[in-house]
Amino acid sequence: MLYDYLKRGVAAGVVAGLAYGLFVALVANPLSQYVETVGHEHAHEHGHAHDHSHAVSELTTTVVSIGSGVLWAIFLGGVFAIALYFLEPALPGRDTVKAYVLAGAGFLTVSATPWLVLPPAVPGAEHLYGVQTRQALYVALVVVGAIVAAVSILAYKRTAPRHPLAGVVAGAVPLLAVGITLPLLTPTTVSHPGLSADLVAAYQGVVVLSQGALWALLAGTFGWLHGRDSAATTDVTAGMPRESATRDDRVANP
């Protein structure tokens, strides 16, 4: 059973990784180059020397972007599948909904919560803390994000049976709390000399949306593969309802 989940996760990672790699190559990389150009023009340096190797470096960057996007998404898909296998009974909803809930929790844990203190790095950014300090902060914020995600899911599960809307509100409270308090309690950790606030916001918005889309595509592809495999299994084992039951059914009715 775990192997089946892992196989779906890797396949979903390939699909999401190809899409993400193309997005980086076609959108994110040109945007990064534009931001770098603006920063260099403001500093009145690096005006030459990059023209001779521009074509080669652009091709290399594109290939590396696609390759790294696929590898990252495959790894993410494998971790996602293993986590879903073990956490599925504790997640609200059924089948595909569980995958989206876990994807949202993953995005909150590894991206959204850390970004409240350590926002997506813009080319040319100047950081208040060194690399080791930022790494330690990131790990701590990932732990905070995981706790917030768990509390949000637990609050929803406990409240939703009485009233679905109350469950949504209860689940949103921890998310709003961390989203408001963390930026207020922590200092600004990065500055962007020479770049307008609108350009910085646009760049960071692209990063946030791309990561959110990656998680959503991962969950959607995994859910589609899971549904397809479940339908095939049901057809084959139509006379054996016990064996063809979902993991949730077996947990609820051992």
Q: pLDDT tens digits, residue range 54-108?
A: 555 667 777 887 788 889 899 999 999 999 999 999 999 887 899 999 999 999 9
Alpha-carbon torsion, ordered 209, 213, 214, 215, to 10 deg: 110
C-beta neighbour count of 60 within 10 angstroms:
11
Helix (H, G, I), strand (E, B) or coil at 190: strand
For residue 93, give both structure tokens. Answer: 């909803």
Give the pLDDT band of residue 26 (cuts 50, 70, 90): confident
- The per-residue pLDDT for range 141-184, each reduced to its tens digit, is 999 999 999 999 999 999 999 999 999 999 999 999 999 999 99
- Its domain, for residue 157, covers 2-252
Q: Buried b vs exposed e over 220-238: b needs ≥16 C-beta within 10 Å?
A: bbbbbbbeeeeeeeeeeee
Which pTM value belongs to this model? 0.83
Q: For position 56, what pLDDT does the model report?
A: 56
Q: CA 127, CA 130: separation in Å to the nearest integer?
A: 7
Point out the least confidently predicted range of 88-92, 132-136, 193-197. Answer: 193-197
E strands present in 79-225: 126-127, 190-191
Q: How many domains does the chain have?
A: 1
